[in-house]
Amino acid sequence: MVHSLSDTTTLHNGVKMPWFGLGVYKAQEGEEVIQAVKVAIKHGYRSIDTAALYQNEGGVGKAIIEANVPREELFVTTKVWNSDQGYDSTIQAFHTSLTKLGLDYVDLYLIHWPVVGKYKDTWKALEDLYEQGKVRAIGVSNFQIHHLKDLMADAKIKPMVNQVELHPSLTQKELLAFCQKENIQIEAWSPLKKGRLQEDSVITSIANKHQKTPAQVILRWDLQNKVVTIPKSVKEHRIIENADIFDFTLTDEEMKQIDGLNKNERTGADPDNFDF
């Protein structure tokens, strides 16, 4: 059971990753992202998830320096964007990200999307960065079961994490079961479905019972499903509220009710059919 913001899951290479973190997608580079990250760290968050695509790695790095917390206490994730995939360009993109972040290493480096014909070469680059100690863990994002099987057929190192869109309208049960069997940690992006589940009657009724918000119920559901979760916000009260989920537990029945909301409905692109 996850009891606090500092609790971690152990990845298959032994690296400890916080169960809960801050996502910074769409947080503007500069003051907005710097303040969001500093506020999160001040309130006990230790995991920050960014990406080259978000164009705010510089602000994340600046916030980390200003937050004045020992680097080894933090878990920083970034991702290689689709146009940079391929072996050489991935190595180059990684060093660009590292420079922007102002760090000596990244805790987790992910392939952002499974670009057909490129993700295997990209993965080789990640394996090399990992073996050189530039990253503590490597993984993928938006990979379906068939992408993972295809990647693992040739990989030296199995992905440690798969970050995917996951929320009560897209429970990803089959993918979750596959990754748990393979010891690949699933992490949820858009865990709150961009706020679209706040009004759902099943979730609001469970929330009322626990005197929690619908968002808190959904994030608790993630953790009880053994899913790492990274809700995004730039508002201090929301950053604090999102993390206030360690003083209650959903019953098995409530977990089932939330699972029952699945519609296989995405807010983002389909990993088998995207054009960016």
Among candidate residues 25, 45, 54, 130, the one labeled active-site is: 54
Is 54 in the active site? yes
What are the E-state strand segments in 81-230? 106-111, 135-141, 161-165, 185-189, 228-229
Q: How far apart are CA 198 and CA 165, in angstroms?
A: 17
What's the one-letter identity of residue 36?
Answer: A
**Per residue in 211-233, is it b (16+ CB within 10 Å) or e — as a string?**
ebbbbbbbbbbbbbbebbbbbbb
Contacts of 83 (CB under 8 A, 6+ apart): none
**Region of residue 89 (left: phi > 0; alpha: psi -120 to 50; beta: else):** alpha
| Cβ(47)–Cβ(74) below 8 Å | yes
Q: Which residues are catalytic?
A: 54
